[in-house]
Structure 1
C-alpha cells in the first residue's frame, strides 16, 4: 500500500533541481497549455500606489492616488504599493532570511516538515502543497507555511531556530519557575549566550542579537533584569529589581548605570563584549561575554545548584520579542488596515467595514516560497493558475528575477513588472464576495526560470473560521442583486487545496 500511495508524497523540488536534467512527468504541463506560458507585456503598467498619500482622515486628500487605487482594483484586482514605510534594507533582510531558511541543510528543514510521520499532509510547515490525484500537475516550488497572527494560534514549534535572524524571541519571564523547590540549596537563574551551532537540547532557545536591538528580561528569586529594544542599536535601557547590580564591561571599561528610586537600576548601555549581572533575593542573572561583540544567540537555562541544569520552556513564559518575520508581519498589518479602509470607501461602505472583518481572531498566514531554477521552464509552472481564498494578500516579490503573471479580463496572461522595494497587494476571493463582485480577485500564476531561483514572502489575511462570508447588505439592491451565496471561512477553505489541485476556483462554488 505504501508504494501505491507514494505519489501523494512528492520529492522536495530543491533537491530535484540539483539532480535532474528533465523534470519528472508529474511537473510537466500538458502540450495544449505550453504556448500559454509566455506572458504578454501590458500596454499600460499596473499602477503604483503611494500609500503615504492615502489617508482616511480626509475625504479625498490626494485624488490622484485614490484614482490610481480605484483603477488598479477595477482593472487588475491588484496594485504595486510604494511609500509603505519599510526601508529597502529591511525588505532585503526579510528576503535574505527567507533565502537563508531554504539554504539550510535538508535535515534541518525537515524538522519543520508538513508531513505528519513523514506521510500525512498538514497545512503548516515545510514541504509541498497537498497532492490529491496521481494525475495532478505539480508545482515547481517548495514552501514554508505558518500562522503568524493571532498569537493564540501560532504553533511555536514550527518557527525555525535557523537561520538565527529568522526568530528572535527576546523576552521571557521566570515567574512560573519555582526557585525554592529545595530550600536547603542555593538556586541560580542564569541567562547564557552560545555561539552557533545551537545546543541540541534547547528547542525553546531564543535568538538574541544585541547589535540588532532586542528585549532581555528575566525574573526569579526577587531579581529582575531587563533591557528595552532600540531599532538599529544595542541593549539600551535596563531595570534590575531586588537590590540588583548592573555592570557592563568592554575593552577594560566599566559602563555605569543611573539609579532610580526604589532600588532599580535604569538606562544602561551594553556594548562590546559586555556582561550583565543582577544579584538579589538569591537570584542571579547574567550573560556570558563574547569576544568583540555582544549577545548573539541565547538559551534560557535554570540551574538549581548543585542540582542538574534544566532548560526552561519559553512556551510557559511570555514571548514579547521581535524577529524579522514578526516585524514584517506587524508592518504589513499596518498597511493592510490603511488599504482596507480605502477600499471600503471606494465601494461606498464605512471605512471600518473590511477592517472589522479582520478582527483579533482573524488568521494571518505567512507563506515563504522557493522556486528553484528549472531545466525546462517552457514546460513547468512554478505555481499553477489560482486566486487567493483571502480577504487581501500582501506579497514581497523577488526584485531580481521575474515570474509572476496575472490574467487580464481579456483572458491573456501578462507579466507583472518588477518594481524594486514595492509590495504587491491583491484582492482575495473573500473580498470579492463581500464587495458583491465590485472588486475582483485576480487569477495569477508563477512561471519558472532556466538559470535563476526565485523567492517570495506572502501574507494571507483571512477572517475568523466561524465568521460568515456574504455580500455587504449595502451593496445588494435590485440593480445589483446578490451574486454569491452565504458561507463561512471554515467551509470555504475546507477543500481549498483540493479545488486548486483540480485547476478550479473555490469562489465558483458560491457564485449564484
Structure 2
C-alpha cells in the first residue's frame, strides 16, 4: 500500500513533542520579502548589493533570469510527479526513505538521490527511466545548474574582495554533487510528521526547484524563529551551504 493511501499514521513516522521545531516557534511570513536576484546581472553593483543583503540576512535568495527555461523546469517537476505516482513496486529500485531509528522518526517523504559528480561515477542505470524523458531533462537541468552555481560563487568571491575565480578554483573534478528529488505524499496527520527534518546543507551551495503551487519549506533565522519560505514560479531558491561558509573565512 502506498503511503498516500494510509488512513492512520504509523508510529514510526510520529514526531515526539521535543522534535517540533526544536522548541523554536514558527511564524507564517518572513518579516521582509526574500531578495530576488537577477542572475544575468550579477556583475552589476545593484544586483550584487541585493545578493549581499540576502546572504548576510538569510543565507538564501530567490534567483530569477537564471538561464533555465520555464519549459524545462516544468518538465522536471512533471517528470518527478509521474515517477512518484507509479505503483510502489515500480519505483522501489530507485526511491528510498530517509531516517528511522529508535531515537529518530522516519521522514514522511519519498526520495531519489542521484550521483552527478564525479562524472565517471555517475551510474545512469540508477536514474529513473520513467517517464521516458526524465533522464534527459535531469541531465539538461544539471548542466545548466552548474553554470548558475559558478556564477553565484564568483559573485560571492567578488563580494569578499577576492579574485572572482578564487572560490571556483577550489572545486576539483572529484567534487561530489548530488541531485535529490523529494516527494511529499498527502498525510493523514501533517502536523505530526517531518517531510524533511531540520538540517543545514553541508555542500557549497544548494539550488532548489520548488513546486509552483505548494509551499512548506521553512528556514530558521538566528536560532529564534522558523519562517515560511515563499515560492515563486520560474525562480530557483539558492542556499549557501556550510562548506562555502567555512571556506569564505579562510
TM-score (norm 2): 0.93
Give the CA deviation at 1:34.
4.4
Matched, 1:26 2:9: no
Matched, 1:52 2:20: no
Matched, 1:334 2:123: no
Hey, what's the Cα distance between the residues in 2 that align with 1:336 and 1:33?
Answer: 33
Give the CA deviation at 1:98.
1.1
Give the CA deviation at 1:69.
0.1
- Rate the CA distance shift 1:143–1:412 in 2: closer, same or farther, 3 A: same
Hey, what's the Cα distance between the residues in 2 that align with 1:378 and 1:37?
Answer: 14
Given that 1:34 and 1:378 are in contact with CA atoms closer than 8 Å, whether structure 2 keeps it comes out as no
Given that 1:40 and 1:415 are in contact with CA atoms closer than 8 Å, whether structure 2 keeps it comes out as yes
Aligned counterpart, 1:128? 97
Structure showing the higher helix proportion among its residues:
2
Instruction: Give 1:407's match in structure 2, choosing from 207, 220, 232.
Output: 220
Given that 2:6 and 2:188 are in contact with CA atoms closer than 8 Å, whether structure 1 keeps it comes out as no
Given that 1:37 and 1:378 are in contact with CA atoms closer than 8 Å, whether structure 2 keeps it comes out as no
Matches within 5 A, 1:444-483: 472=250
Aligned counterpart, 2:73? 91
Matches within 5 A, 1:481-492: none
Question: 1:414 aligns to what SS in structure 2?
Answer: strand
Aligned counterpart, 1:76? 58
Hey, what's the Cα distance between the residues in 1 that align with 2:225 and 2:83?
Answer: 35
Given that 1:143 and 1:369 are in contact with CA atoms closer than 8 Å, whether structure 2 keeps it comes out as yes
Instruction: Give 2:188's match in structure 1, choosing from 359, 375, 394.
Output: 375
Give the CA deviation at 1:417.
0.8
| Count of residue correspondences | 248
Hey, what's the Cα distance between the residues in 1 that align with 2:28 and 2:99?
Answer: 30
Hey, what's the Cα distance between the residues in 2 that align with 1:407 and 1:90?
Answer: 30
Aligned counterpart, 2:157? 344
Hey, what's the Cα distance between the residues in 2 that align with 1:146 and 1:410?
Answer: 31
Q: Considering only CA atoms, is the larger Rg found in Structure 1 or Structure 2? A: 1
Hey, what's the Cα distance between the residues in 2 that align with 1:357 and 1:81?
Answer: 23
Question: 1:339 aligns to what SS in structure 2?
Answer: helix
- Rate the CA distance shift 1:109–1:428 in 2: closer, same or farther, 3 A: same
Give the CA deviation at 1:25.
2.1
Hey, what's the Cα distance between the residues in 1 that align with 2:155 and 2:89?
Answer: 45
TM-score (norm 1): 0.47
Instruction: Give 1:160's match in structure 2, choosing from 120, 128, 137.
Output: 128
Instruction: Give 2:174's match in structure 1, choosing from 361, 384, 390.
Output: 361
Give the CA deviation at 1:40.
3.1
- Rate the CA distance shift 1:48–1:355 in 2: closer, same or farther, 3 A: same
Given that 1:26 and 1:135 are in contact with CA atoms closer than 8 Å, whether structure 2 keeps it comes out as no
Matches within 5 A, 1:157-196: 157-167=125-135
Structure showing the higher strand proportion among its residues:
1
Hey, what's the Cα distance between the residues in 2 that align with 1:111 and 1:138?
Answer: 19
* Gapped regions of structure 2 (runs ≥ 5): none
Hey, what's the Cα distance between the residues in 2 that align with 1:29 and 1:159?
Answer: 31
- Rate the CA distance shift 1:16–1:104 in 2: closer, same or farther, 3 A: closer
Q: Which has the higher contact order (CA 8 A, sep 6+)?
A: 2
Given that 2:66 and 2:148 are in contact with CA atoms closer than 8 Å, whether structure 1 keeps it comes out as yes
Given that 2:13 and 2:107 are in contact with CA atoms closer than 8 Å, whether structure 1 keeps it comes out as yes
Aligned counterpart, 1:144? 112
